[in-house]
Structure 1
Amino acid sequence: MTDRTDGHAEGQGRVYQSQGDQHISEHHHYGGGRPERGGPDSVRRPAVGRPPVVLRDRSEVMERLRASVAAERGGQVYVLYGMGGSGKTAVACALFQEVALQQGRVGLWVNASDRASLRAGMLAVAADRGARDAELLAARNGLRPAADLAWAYLHRSVEPWLLVLDNTDEPEILRDGDWLRTSPRGTVLVTTRRAAARWWPGAELQYIGVLPREDAALVLRDLAPDSGTTEQAARVADRLGRLPLALTLAGGFLSWQVIDPWTMDTYGDRLDGDERVQLIDRGADALSEADPRHLVGLTWQLTLDTFEARRLPEAVALLRLLARFAAEPLPLTLLDHAGIGAVLPRARTETALRALLDQSLSELVDAAGARCVQSHGILLDSVSAATPADLVTTLDTTAVRLLDAAVPGVPDAGPHDPRLRLLVPHALALLGHVGEPSAADALAAATRLAVALHRTGDYLSAWETARNAADLARRHLGADHRAVLAARSRAGRALFRLGRYAEAEAALRAVRDAQGRLFGAGDPDTADSGYGLQLVLANLGRRDESVALLRDTVAARRSALGPAHPLTLRARAGLLETLPAADVAAEEGGSLLTLPSECERVLGPDHTVTLGARHNHAWALYLLGRFDEADREIRQVVEAYERRFGPEYPVVLAARQLLSRTRAALGHVDEGIALMTEVVERRERGLGPEHPFTVASRRLLDAHRSGGRRP
């Protein structure tokens, strides 16, 4: 690495390698105020709605768990396993509340149902235990291992803790990054349907089964005390297989009857007379005919029949719509959209939701600072399986329209937004449900969500979302569909940002070749993949290929989109940074050096592309030896970046690094040293002392101190 190590950021977030020099040359897509940490509220409370009125028949389990989190003990992993709906989360929630209220331990609750939720939750744990914004940002960017960061702060926690990993029904995701560890500072409690010992080495497993007859009857009596005697409740409980989820649904139904209340006996008779609904419990073992999970479907069907009889068909329609999404917190704002009118009147959404809440079919939860609705996965699977075929297309179309409206229409640079991650499981669930008519639209929304995640620095979630979405949609659309190729291109871009250059090159080259063959070399999608590919080639040291491809991208975008389109201007700004100084002045007949003014006139002074063009322009001026001009411009860019991003963000540090160069070049060496000292300190905190960015910054600092100017 030579002395041209800068840390500049422009475009889409890369580290540019030119003649052995490392040069960060692309925006990291953050902005819009100070960073949001997804703070303690996201993990200090269980991500569940109403806990059970009384936790029945779990006294032995609770005693064992209480002993495990005693103040003088730590380092254990306990696994609660059992069939869906058996009450594992209820046990974990009860322990969590006791720990937080009575034992002086910190309770930390993480939804581990998918990779994105697990990673976001564990980074929120790290933030709660003291991790700094720069460290969290680097972990989201893929610049440091997220699991290592989270566990480092759990190990050094002053307060003892209980960490709950809820809904860990895909335990293989825990191994991807080594998320499940132990620490003497706390106890880990896992809930799962997967009990194979190979997933939980060294852990103590505890089975959570159905309730004894007496306790099952008491659950019904807790929820509907006026509906019958304990013996009548016991007979209903037997009919429901004593499964806590089925009991909760039945109790909610019975407690809701006002005008013509049902008795326990009436309810039991209706159960015996209706066998229409069967349950699909995805991800669990095959069901036997006697398995009590079959009865969950029958339980909610009785409730839906009552909704229809009482002229509340909107509640039925809303539950069927919710069943198109995932069994994860769904932001309520997604339902507050005119597009819901195809399934139920928008004005009746509130009434329908209240009916579901009253019947315990759904619950309100807070997640990532957003009010959400959530239903049990078994219930949603059962509802989905029983939805009449003639309603499916309308439900799919409406669900896709609601998701599409919830994703930013034109994703731009912004701060980390944990609410975006909430949409990921729902986008993927939709792609798993929808048929061919809605698949392309659903994939387009999922891909745009991946872009939004990418541009807030959550590159891992962006990659996983785009990759999984393309795989799910391929079965309907085929590998060569435009939307599938666009999703794979976005996945390649995220791989690049994660530093996986060889994989990114292979993915982007394959996609670009296919797009060129199918749509033409000048197609906007082909140009987008070409833009991403040239970033990778630059980082692999293949400068000539990168520059040639970037010029092709500029030409294609200018032809297809017009000279004033933001993507065209962004590609041209890339030329400002990548070309040698001697070529910059001659490029485009000399007009390239006026690009910032053009961007400001077309897009405005605060647009992301405008700021990136000015940043690159300052770099070009520096290389041309026009230090006064470069210094004035980069100082203004630093001020704009700091207002937008805060002091820790990579693009801010890159700009301050360039400012240190211009100050030193103008003879203000002490000021240059002070600027670089701060950059090095911040990069060491965020990335560690051995990261290439930190090493490059430290070398520039050493050069300033030795009195030399690094060109």
Structure 2
Amino acid sequence: MPIDGRASGQGRVFQTGGDQYIEEHHHHYGAGTGSLLAPQPVGPRPPQGATVPDSVRVPLVGRAPGILRDRADLMERLRTAVTGPGGDVHVLHGLGGCGKTAVAHALFTEAVRDHGRVGLWVNASERISLRAGMLAVAGDRGATTGELAAAASGQRAAADLVWHYLDHSAQRWLLVLDNADDPTVLEEGGWLRTSPLGTVLVTTRHATSPLWRGIGSARHPVGVLPEADAAQVLCDLAPDAGTVESAQKVARRLGCLPLALTLAGSHLSHQLLESWSMDEYDRKLSEDSTALVDQGAAGTGSGQSRHLVGRTWQLSLDALAGQGLPEATTLLRLLSCWAADPVPLSLLMPVARGEVDFGHLDPPLARDRVEPALRGLLDHSLIGMVEADGRRCVQAHGVLLDSVAAGVPEVQRGVLAEAAGRLLEAALPQEDAVPSKTPTGWELLAPHVSRLLQTAPGELPAGLAVRIARLMHHAGNFPGALKQARYAAGTAERCLGSDHPVFLTARDAEAWALQYLTHFADAEAVHRQTLAARESVLGPDHPETLRSHLALGLSLNQLGRHEEAVQSVRRAIDGQRRALGADAVETLFSRSMLLEILPELGRSEEFDEAAKVTEDCDRFLPPEHLTTVFAYHGYGEGLRLLGRYAEAEPVARRALEGRTRLQGPEHPLTMAALSLTALVAHGLGRLDEAIAIQQQLLERRERVLGSEHPFTALSRERLTRWQAEARPDRP
């Protein structure tokens, strides 16, 4: 049947005698002229799930903070960009949960309310939501239904359409691309561009994407809050839960992470059956921080994974696995065995060299995949690069490590803890009774040893904790050594028993620390208990038993029981000569200790014979060995006690030079050597010199030990007395 039709303007008439499929598109970018003039094609449809967002004019996010804390400088830079000429892209990058979206929300609100900008908000977390959101932006800026349908069906370039209408917007705008954690989503199709009419703000966990550099963006790291501001966030949300001081404790435990703070404050403010204070919440956090914090999600109005502390990191790990880096999960699990302190990259080198096998874990971590896995964790802001004590380190947030550790499969926990311990063991300085010099770098490992001992108590972590205590002792940190040794001893006793060698070693370290803290009676009691246990468990001639004889002798000397002290030290020396040899470091060290005891008994001849240890140290030990310095220090002190000041002077100066060179000017034993030089100068009648040295010593001890320390008080008393001697005519 013939069909008559008529068209006018830009209309078309098509006539056919059979089934035909006809498409015709006319794309125009004049004002209001773009349209789809043909019937809708029977062809591709928008991808399933690509629904248009409810709004691009309202940030579709979880609960935003009523007050944005600490971000004043960042907000000022972004505010300047929004009110400026336009054409900028700004990238907020950082760890999940650090508040990037909160900053974007605050800027969005200001731009609309105070600066007359059109605010446009798009969820850029995945391709579907980005495409749908950007097409909605085009519609908001004037694109017609026909143009949008063509773009949605794949009949025209969607990104070109969007940016045409952004470039021809009648109003200036701010476009927020939120949660762009996979920059390839923006890169494919050219979604990220610039326009003279507006500013683009991107929030992402991906800090180092080439896309950010290629677009010429300004990048802004967003980190955790300062403690005071973090505490105020809790007080903002739960003002009746406690004091600012209590809030600071909770904030500190949560690492000042904004997401965790928001959830914690919401939990505290929405309790019905219980009403915890900040202090009670802090105690509960010690049991299961991640699970407890996530209970606050109900009060924020969002339970999405992105808004849960316990799941937010998994989004990044899933993305890394999708990019071919499943090993990043295993590497982060290894890091979760340690503390939230800087981890020296050197600690991971044995993994990269294949010296520690992770091939049987799931996912496996091959030696050649360590570098890519590290890079992936850095790129996704799961770890950051920092410098500590001049060493390159990586660092992860404490709450992140807690949640990752909680998610480690049970079958892998022991394997990971063992590997973490072996890596620490390899990185610590080799154990030596008296090291050649104070080690450097081990201080960074101390918190990781403590964390491992806390989460996976056993023989290896406890032994490492004792080594840390000894290193602290040799570095002059006697309070730290005491605390570390007691913690190691308590844990070792619970998990290994009171007769285990590691427990006894921890008790030995505790007693040495007590001794150097001048708690001589307590030190003597612990040394005696340790000696008895070692004789029973290890035998009377075991090196550790002999070491306890030496330690007990030194404690007895400090208590004025000099005869007993000589007997105990000689017992150690005799046993060490038989078991270790006359030229062994421990034997020479024990011999040097006699030099401080024999003068107390007035045994000059025995002292002169014992002083030959200095010659043996020079002969058998490497140059500048610390045991040699100990020997000369003891020799100088003994000469002083015997009143042989002229002989003591060069010996004391050599001891001071050695201690200063090997242990630093503010080490307690260096200050003891400085004290010796002052006493020798006083004994030689050089009063002005003695006063000057004593004044210097008092200043150091006040600075390092504190004004109330017994050695500080002794220096102050001597200085006062010597100054009075120098001015006998004054009252």
TM bracket (short chain): 0.5 to 0.7
1:425 aligned residue: 447
Match of 1:544 among 553, 563, 568: 563
The one-letter amino acid of 1:611's match is V
How far off is 1:487 after superposition? 1.6
2:270 aligned residue: none
Aligned residues: 482
1:321 aligned residue: 334
Match of 2:403 among 379, 382, 388: 382
Change (3 A) 1:314 1:684: closer
How far off is 1:350 after superposition? 1.7
Q: How far apart are the structure 2 equivalents of 1:192 and 1:283?
A: 18
Match of 1:62 among 31, 48, 69: 69
2:419 aligned residue: 398
Normalising by structure 2, what TM-score?
0.56
Does the 8 Å contact 1:489/1:529 carry over to 2?
A: yes
Does the 8 Å contact 1:242/1:292 carry over to 2?
A: no
Change (3 A) 1:683 1:447: closer
How far off is 1:402 after superposition? 1.0
**Higher radius of gyration, 1 or 2:** 2
How far off is 1:656 after superposition? 3.6
Change (3 A) 1:380 1:671: closer
Does the 8 Å contact 2:341/2:395 carry over to 1?
A: yes
How far off is 1:57 after superposition? 3.4
Q: How far apart are the structure 2 equivalents of 1:567 and 1:206?
A: 48
Which one is further off, 378-387 or 569-578?
378-387
Match of 2:624 among 585, 606, 620: 606
Does the 8 Å contact 1:85/1:378 carry over to 2?
A: no
SS in structure 2 opposite 1:372? strand
Deviations 1:612-668 (A, max 9, x none): 111211232334454433223223333333444555544344334433444454555
Q: How far apart are the structure 2 equivalents of 1:283 and 1:386?
A: 11
SS in structure 2 opposite 1:328? coil
Q: How far apart are the structure 1 equivalents of 2:232 and 2:291?
A: 14
How far off is 1:63 after superposition? 8.3
Within-5 A mapping of 1:498-517 = 498-517=517-536
The one-letter amino acid of 2:328's match is A
How far off is 1:699 after superposition? 5.4
Within-5 A mapping of 1:257-406 = 281-282=288-289, 285=292, 295-301=308-314, 303-305=316-318, 307-308=320-321, 310-337=323-350, 338=353, 341-343=356-358, 344-406=365-427
Within-5 A mapping of 1:32-181 = 57-58=64-65, 60=67, 62=69
The one-letter amino acid of 1:363's match is G
The one-letter amino acid of 1:380's match is L
Q: How far apart are the structure 1 equivalents of 2:587 and 2:639?
A: 22
The one-letter amino acid of 2:339's match is A
2:711 matches 1:693: yes
Q: How far apart are the structure 1 equivalents of 2:431 and 2:386?
A: 29
Does the 8 Å contact 1:413/1:455 carry over to 2?
A: no
Q: How far apart are the structure 2 equivalents of 1:691 and 1:389?
A: 49
Q: How far apart are the structure 1 equivalents of 2:348 and 2:549?
A: 38
2:29 aligned residue: none
How far off is 1:297 after superposition? 4.6
Q: How far apart are the structure 1 equivalents of 2:541 and 2:572?
A: 8
The one-letter amino acid of 1:609's match is T
Does the 8 Å contact 1:574/1:616 carry over to 2?
A: yes
1:595 aligned residue: 613
Change (3 A) 1:485 1:207: closer
Does the 8 Å contact 1:62/1:91 carry over to 2?
A: no
Q: How far apart are the structure 1 equivalents of 2:642 and 2:520?
A: 30
| Unmatched tracts of structure 2, length 5 or more | 1-60, 74-94, 104-222, 265-285, 359-364
Deviations 1:238-282 (A, max 9, x none): xx99969xxxxxxxxxxxxxxxxxxxxxxxxxxxxxxxxxx9834
How far off is 1:596 after superposition? 0.2
1:534 aligned residue: 553
2:468 aligned residue: 449
Q: How far apart are the structure 2 equivalents of 1:611 and 1:286?
A: 54
Change (3 A) 1:650 1:490: closer
The one-letter amino acid of 1:654's match is A
Change (3 A) 1:566 1:283: farther
| Unmatched tracts of structure 1, length 5 or more | 1-53, 67-83, 93-163, 169-186, 211-215, 220-239, 245-278
Q: How far apart are the structure 1 equivalents of 2:100 and 2:517?
A: 34
2:646 aligned residue: 628
How far off is 1:595 after superposition? 0.8
Does the 8 Å contact 2:541/2:575 carry over to 1?
A: yes
Q: How far apart are the structure 2 equivalents of 1:166 and 1:398?
A: 33
Change (3 A) 1:284 1:507: farther
SS in structure 1 opposite 2:393? strand
The one-letter amino acid of 1:480's match is D
Which one is further off, 309-318 or 692-701?
692-701
Q: How far apart are the structure 1 equivalents of 2:224 and 2:480?
A: 19
Match of 1:467 among 468, 483, 486: 486
How far off is 1:680 after superposition? 4.5
Q: How far apart are the structure 2 equivalents of 1:300 and 1:64?
A: 23
Does the 8 Å contact 1:280/1:382 carry over to 2?
A: no
SS in structure 2 opposite 1:342? coil
Change (3 A) 1:358 1:591: same
Change (3 A) 1:327 1:202: closer
Higher relative contact order (CA 8 A, sep 6+): 1
1:156 aligned residue: none
The one-letter amino acid of 1:342's match is D
Does the 8 Å contact 1:408/1:449 carry over to 2?
A: no
The one-letter amino acid of 1:57's match is A
Does the 8 Å contact 1:324/1:384 carry over to 2?
A: yes
Q: Indicate the percent of aligned positions where both proteins have the same amino acid.
A: 37
Does the 8 Å contact 1:321/1:395 carry over to 2?
A: yes
Q: How far apart are the structure 1 equivalents of 2:63 and 2:627?
A: 59
The one-letter amino acid of 2:444's match is L
How far off is 1:669 after superposition? 4.9
Change (3 A) 1:670 1:311: closer
Does the 8 Å contact 1:420/1:453 carry over to 2?
A: no
Does the 8 Å contact 1:165/1:191 carry over to 2?
A: no
Does the 8 Å contact 1:466/1:490 carry over to 2?
A: yes
How far off is 1:458 after superposition? 1.9
Q: How far apart are the structure 2 equivalents of 1:703 and 1:557?
A: 43
SS in structure 2 opposite 1:373? strand
The one-letter amino acid of 1:426's match is H
